[in-house]
Structure 1
Amino acid sequence: MELKKKLFPFFSTVGILIVVLGLYAFKSDSATTERYVAQTRWENLKVLPQNISKDSLDYLMKNYALSLGVKCTHCHVPSKTDPTKLDFASDEKIEKEIARGMVKMTNDLNALYFQPHFPEPKPKQVHVVNCVMCHRGAVNPEKYLSQMGEMYKTYDPNRDNRKEMFLEQQKKQ
């Protein structure tokens, strides 16, 4: 009888502790719901859709950086107000405009040559051609494509040189 009197408070305390911990485990994480911020309108997206999520945009940008073997500063300039951050909306670097042209090119190639051949129901967007296909981790894929002259008679060694022209103009100013 005395043993029951001594064990009852112990088991009661353990039981209450289990119930409290069990209820706490099902408590909603208010910190997660409080951190949600509605998507704001992006500044200066000209090729990518305005309704792209932050996660999707981050994924694309990381993919571009990996495909070309560069960091974010390749296309983006430091912020004028806080040099430790990047000004993603700025168009100061020609590389950003070149990237837009490349995104349009890959989208067009996929839409014209691959998407029509997909079975029904056709996806809205097809990703067969992408940056890494040519760049292979190099900003200028010329190293990998240097044999183009032998493969195609229409190859023009005087390739698109907008970047070089832009840099020459800046030197003159």
Structure 2
Amino acid sequence: MTTQNAINWPERYLPGTGDNFVSNEVIAKGLSAADVWPFLVDTSTWESYYDNVADISFPQGGGPELRADIHFRFGTFGFPPLDAHVVEFQGPAAGVPGRLSWTARQGGSPEEQLDVLHAWLVEDLPGGRVRILTQETQIGRPAAALAGQRPNPMLNGHQAWLDGLVGAAEKTRA
């Protein structure tokens, strides 16, 4: 029997307590966490495999690779660039999943304010498989508006990100 890891959630962002929550997962054969991780943490690769991200910058320096405690900005889902901060960063290792989480915020009027935690878990599974889990909790009126749309743009957008991430990693294995 295999036990799968879970996202580490700060209490403020516990699933089901915000205005929008989505969870997406893929398990891919023939890839490892080490194959996938570089495409997730190197933001210079994001736009090559995911078309719902733009205007990535590092206003305080650093980048394009994410690391613990780095600040960055990016646009997604039609929002103006969000101010993001990596709050969890652990690269994958033997028996240890890769973990990446960032908060992202948009200020403005109450109608515009958005507060997000986007978390990733990348882990090797037996049989030459990798599991990639991404989950996001959003708080704010823009989040509630997204949650009410059918199909949910967040759910579909994150699935596209996962599919693109796997595709990018597969190209390096070919």
- TM-score normalized by structure 1? 0.24
Higher helix share: 1
Choose 1 or 2 for highest CA Rg: 1
